[in-house]
Amino acid sequence: MTTTRRSVLTLRTLALAYVLGLVAVPILVILFRTFEPGLAVFIESIRTPAAIAALNLSVLIVAIVVPLNVVFGVVTAIALARWRLPGKGLIQAVVDLPFAVSPIVVGVSLIMLWGASGWFGGLQSSTGIRVIFGLPGMVIATIFVTLPFVVREVEPVLHEIGTEQEQAAATLGASGWQTFWRITVPAIRWGLTYGVVLTVARALGEFGAVIMVSSGFPGVSQTLTLLVHSRYIDDHNTYGAYAAATLLMGLALGTLLLMTLLDRKRSPR
């Protein structure tokens, strides 16, 4: 299209104003508000016992969710890419389902299944394990929302590498396990790592699904995202909320950076 200098400038200005007004300026404002009183105040705000407990809980949830997602995600990806199964389309649809479900609906569904009056409500009275309003509920909610990531990153890699190397290994006498560890795992490692990074980012940032199944007690069952919410809403501690949000933002930026670097590794072409 032949575009005049003026129309190019107009379009550029509009686009930049939109992106900057929507994303950049609000982030700069919150950074300014956070660090305006000085770094010491910020550090103090994120080192209160409740904040440390929240960070620990968030990390604990990540530490439980990631291994589970890696194991089950890789098995699911292999099943989808390698095995001839009836109803594969159905499995594909179920794997993608969590992307289409609102976080709040995830929370409500888990309450209907695991809650005291839910289908598995008997578990609590018979074993004393509290799923809803306890750590298991928050873990299950996080697994639900992060379930697709590992599968969706590993499955295409498995398709791409094909089966030739695996066949060759088998021909040379490798057992199934040996083929898996020496051929398949090295081939999928970057895809898998990318899936894990996505899982970590989402697990740290999940809010809606987790708040529904958490009792939300400060220092006990608050994750970092719940801490931001409760500081703003319950404590009217706006600065504290800004500081906690800035901490979360730092973690998110770290993962974004990691993703950009991994993306290059993952697809060297």
Residues between 56 and 95 with contacts to another protein, criterion CB under 8 A: 72, 75-76, 78-79, 82-86, 91, 94-95
264 binds another protein (CB under 8 A): no
SS3 percent helix, strand, coil of the chain, rounded to 5, is: 80, 0, 20
Which of residues 47, 252, 261, 265 is near another protein by CB under 8 A?
252
What values do phi and psi take at 47, rounded to 5? -115, 15
Size of the site for another protein (CB under 8 A): 98
Distances (CA, A) of 13 to 21, 40, 152: 11, 38, 37
Longest dimension (CA), the chain: 75
Least CB distance to another protein at residue 248 (A): 5
Question: Least distance in Å: CB of 257 to another protein?
Answer: 9
Give the footprint of another protein on residues 104-123 (CB under 8 A).
104-115, 117-119
Which amino acid is it at 78? I
CA distances from 170 to 165, 174, 256 (A): 9, 5, 39
Site string for another protein, 186-225 (x = CB under 8 A): ---------------x--xxxxx---x------------x
Count of CB atoms situated within 10 Å of the CB of 237: 16
Near another protein in 228-247, by CB under 8 A? 228-229, 232-233, 238, 241-242, 245
Residue 223, Cβ density class (10 Å: 0-12 exposed, 13-18 middle, ≥19 buried) = buried
Q: Please, which of residues 5-64 interact with another protein by CB under 8 A?
A: 7-8, 11-12, 14-16, 18-20, 22-27, 29-30, 33
Nearer to another protein, 167 or 267 (CB): 167
Binding mask 161-180 for another protein (x = CB under 8 A): --x--xx--xxxxxxxxxxx
